[in-house]
Structure 1
Amino acid sequence: MAAHRKPKQRPLAGNTARTAATLALAGAATATAFEGSGHAEPRLSPAQLKAKVDKLYQEAEAATEQYNGAKEKTGEAQRSLTAMRDEAARRTDRLNASRNALGSLATSQYRTGGIDPAVQLALSSDPDQYLERAAIVDRAGSRQADAITSVRKQLGELERLRATADGRLADLRTHQADLAKHKATVQKKLGAAEQLLARLTAEQRAAYEAQGSRGGSPGSQAAASAGRSDRSAPRGSVQAPNPRAAQAVSYAYGALGKPYVWGATGPSAFDCSGLTQAAWRAAGVSLPRTTYTQINAGQRISRSQLAPGDLVFFYSGISHVGLYIGGGQMIHAPRPGAPVRVAPIDEMPYAGATRPS
């Protein structure tokens, strides 16, 4: 019977115990929907989660700028198509009027011009009256020829206009497809970020929402914490290079604390390029809608030349923008959950700057 005894378990000790514990932690997995993946991944530390969320938010913002560009092109194509359809309707009305006039002229000539001119002369009791009528008929014939030429020309123009409108419609459908694709990408990235954030404790989540850094170094995160602001932040004296820049900066200060909403251009919410566009629009300057077009909307300047009102851009794909306010600080709309705020320009990888004019 002794042969059937269960072997006695011995407790692990020292390095052996620590190694076993480490292996157990490494083997603990959590099912996650991160970036659409259905496989299990090791449980992440809060710092690792934050790093992944920051990356997702950066990717979501890059997709947001693509969405903004597609939305702008969709609007332009829609307006162009509407204008062409309106013009086609007007030209169709004119064409129908010309056709009706031509039909009336042809009917009139048929009724009065069915007798041979020699017979008309022979039957006329007044040759002078006949010659006068003949001149009128001749002029009517010329008018008829002109009317026919006009109708043919109008038909050609209308066909060309309709062909162009068909092209605009094809463009519109392409831009609408792009719009839907970029919207889906944004929503997917934001959804994945939210799922990761849900794995943080309430305190960790609050701490993350309070900080504005998106993948910067520890030093830049500390600077971001020191540079944060809200609506009550003192503005001081803004030494902008011109009154328009000062007005843009003033608008940005007025937007402090307003929420980040992707695709928004104000006045109650903004995304990053929506904020800079609205700020300069308040100063009477029209900026393009996206980060990658705003960087070319003005004079490119070096970092050492920065002055309040300049646009500062970040990441190699030019996917984020803020409004410089001096002292190494900017006002920007950081990401979902982080309202418009003051932050140091060192908190993200710097890519360049532009001075609108």
Structure 2
Amino acid sequence: MASHRKQPRTRALATAASARGALGISSAALASLTLLSQSAHASPTDPPDRNSGKPSLAEVQKRVDALYRQAGSATQKYNAAKEATGRQRDKVNRTLDQVAKRTDRLNDARRALGRYAAAQYRTGGVSETATLLLTEDPQQFFTQRHLMNRLTGSQKKAVTDYEKQQRAAGSRRAEATRQLARLSASQKRLKANRSEIRSKLSEARELLSKLTAEEKARLAEIERKKRAEARQKAMERAEAERREQARKERERQRERQRERESDTGDQQDGPDSDTGSDTGSGTGTGSGDTSTPDSSYAAKAAKVLGFAKQQLGKPYVWGATGPNSYDCSGFTQAAWKEGGASLPRTTFDQVKVGTKVARSALRPGDLIFFYDDVSHVGIYTGDGQMIHAPKPGTNIRFESIDTMPFHSAVRPA
């Protein structure tokens, strides 16, 4: 029994172990991918030959950015496939446990049938009449016949139980086969996503390696200016939004003041009590009702941002969830865990969590998603800025939300 139960379990574990081995990524390989620009070898410092077909610096930058974008999208698909593979492997292991238990029951039923079959074989070779004629004690014969009649009912039950256990075991084995097929498909997707990421990053590394030291310095300066311009643009937009909100609030206050003055003028008696009633009503339905949820979210966001700031400088590594490195969604997942919210693993799922908020209504702690395929996410920190894990070769940092095309934003809690 034990050997029968362990055999499929061993195969499943071997399959899972081999899958982990096939899909595992060494820390050295991950580290090399995060240092693309640093590890690029400098080319000769001669100026590029315009007739050699060598791409311009702008073309290199555009291509590298596109490759990073594609790698980022593939990373989210990898994360989704990895989660699916883990869930499927757990289901397979549970099903194999059920198969082993069903097999034990089937073996018990088979042994019961074997005992009855052996008894029948031992007594079935002589007819009942001959047995009666040869027996020395007819009463003993009838006693044995009575026992056999009783055993026949048990035998029928044994046969029924065997058939039942046989069907159940067959059903579990069939389900295990289907689940193993789904696990295999998940592993193939995981492998394909991993290969795509590595291919994109390898191509980006190759492009960067062909740049001269001067070109790499110029490229870094272009990147710095681009980030500075985006930061300035975001700050200007945030300031304009604050002015607009302040203008609307002043208008609301003037409107309330006009309403109070109108109510006071129309009141013929008891103006003092009316004023007191109006003040109480304003307190009950105004900022008093909204301060509690606001302060609650602010407290959670403070924990999120506190954790996020502690991760500043840690490297982006695709597929990583901390504590030493992160990809974009692994970073936001870990940060919001500190705020008491359990986020899904991928950007594709995180964008569905919580309450959607407009760009003009962003508050610190909100998640901001970018690109049409929702393949990147950051945490809003205020004044048009966010903190995020940008891309391979970079570290977690503050950056303007205008550095990438805005898609949407959500408030997780």
Short-chain TM bin: 0.7 to 0.9
Q: Does 269-278 or 247-256 show the bigger shift?
A: 247-256
Residue 235 of structure 1 aligns with which residue?
none
Relative to structure 2, which stretch is displaced further, 95-104 or 196-205? 196-205
1:116 aligns with 2:121: no
Q: 1:241 aligns to what SS in structure 2?
A: helix
Residues 77 and 168 in structure 1, CA contact (< 8 A), matched pair in contact too: yes
Q: Are residues 1:302 and 2:358 paired? A: yes
The whole-number CA distance in structure 1 between the counterparts of 2:397 and 2:83 is 26
Cα distance in 2 between the residues matched to 1:124 and 1:246: 97
Q: Figure out how many residues of one structure are paired with residues of the other and give that number.
A: 309
Superposition deviation, residue 96 in structure 1: 1.0
Does the 8 A contact of 1:324 with 1:330 survive in 2?
Answer: yes
Question: Retained in 1: the 8 A contact 2:77–2:193?
Answer: yes
Unaligned runs of 5+ in 2: 1-46, 236-293
Contact 1:240-1:309 at 8 Å conserved across structures:
no
Partner of 1:248: 304
| Aligned twin of 1:260 | 316
Residue 66 in 1 paired to residue 77 in 2? Answer: yes
Match of 1:155 in 2: 166
Q: Among 122, 140, 145, which residue is 2:151 paired with?
A: 140
8 Å CA contact 2:92, 2:179 repeated in 1: yes
Are the counterparts in 2 of residues 311 and 353 from structure 1 also a CA contact under 8 Å? yes
Query: Which has a greater percent of helix?
Result: 2
Evaluate the alpha carbon distance shift between residue 314 and residue 121 of structure 1 in structure 2; reply closer, same or farther with a 3 A threshold: farther
* Aligned with residue 293 of structure 1, among 349, 357, 363: 349
Partner of 1:44: 56
AA in 2 matched with 1:342: F
Mean alpha-carbon deviation: is it higher for 70-79 or for 252-261? 70-79
Task: For residue 131 of structure 1, report the CA deviation from its aligned partner.
Answer: 7.4
Q: Structure 1 residues 338, 239: CA separation in 2 closer, same or farther (over 3 Å shift)?
A: farther
Distance apart, 1:49 and its partner CA? 2.6
Whole-Å Cα distance in 2 between the matches of residues 50 and 153 of structure 1?
A: 67
With over 3 angstroms needed to count, the CA separation of the structure-2 counterparts of 1:280 and 1:143, relative to structure 1, is: farther
**1:116 maps to amino acid:** E
For residues 218 and 149 of structure 2, the distance between their equivalents in structure 1, rounded to whole angstroms, comes to: 92
Match of 1:3 in 2: none
Give the distance between the partners of 1:139 and 1:152, measured in 2 at CA: 21
Q: How does 1:18-33 map to 2 (within 5 A)?
A: 28-30=50-52
**What is the Cα deviation at residue 260 of structure 1?**
0.4
Residue from 163, 171, 183 that aligns with 2:182: 171
Aligned-pair CA distance for 1:253: 1.7
Instruction: Report which stretch shifted further, 67-76 or 107-116.
Output: 107-116
Which has the higher relative contact order, 1 or 2, with Cα contacts under 8 A spaced 6 or more apart?
Answer: 2
How far apart are the structure 1 equivalents of 2:133 and 2:365? Answer: 88
Partner of 1:11: none
Q: Deviations over 1:41-76 (max 9, x none)?
A: 34403x443232222211111111112222222222
The answer to whether structure 1 residue 75 and structure 2 residue 86 are counterparts is: yes
Question: Residues 329-344 of structure 1 correspond to what in structure 2 (within 5 A)?
Answer: 329-344=385-400
| Structure 2 counterpart SS, 1:85 | helix
Q: Is the Cα contact below 8 Å between 2:386 and 2:400 reproduced in 1?
A: yes
Normalised by the size of structure 2, how large is the TM-score?
A: 0.64
5 Å matches for 1:322-333?
322-333=378-389
**1:317 matched residue in structure 2:** 373
Counterpart code for 1:28: R
Q: Residues 163-203 of structure 1: CA distance to partner in whole angstroms, max 9, x if unpaired?
A: 22222222222222222222222112112222222244446
**Structure 1 118/217 Cα, relative in aligned 2: closer, same or farther at 3 Å?**
same
Q: Partner of 2:378: helix, strand, or coil? A: strand
The CA deviation at 1:352 is: 0.4
Distance 1:109 1:72, change over 3 A: same
Could you tell me how far 1:327 is from its partner in structure 2? 2.9
Decide whether the 8 Å contact of 1:314 with 1:320 is kept in 2.
Answer: yes
Percentage identity across paired residues of the two chains: 41
Specify every segment of 5 or more residues in structure 1 that has no aligned partner in the other structure, as ranges. 1-24, 31-40, 226-237
**Are residues 26 and 159 of structure 1, via their aligned partners in 2, closer, same or farther at CA, if it must alter by over 3 Å?**
same
Q: Which of 279, 286, 301 is 2:335 aligned to?
A: 279
Equivalent residue number for residue 219 of structure 1: 229
Look up the match of 1:22: none
Q: Secondary structure at 2:85's aligned position in 1? A: helix
Deviation of 1:356 after TM superposition, in Å, equals: 2.2
Normalising by the residue count of structure 1, what TM-score does the alignment of the two structures yield? Answer: 0.73
- The one-letter amino acid paired with 1:168 is Q
- Which residue does the alignment assign to 2:273? none
Counterpart of 2:194 in structure 1 is: 183
- The structural deviation recorded for 1:299 is 2.3
Shift of the 26–265 alpha-carbon distance from structure 1 to 2, 3 Å rule, reads closer
Which amino acid in structure 1 is aligned with residue 318 of structure 2?
Answer: W
Q: CA 1:80–1:333 in structure 2 vs 1: closer, same or farther (change >3 Å)?
A: same
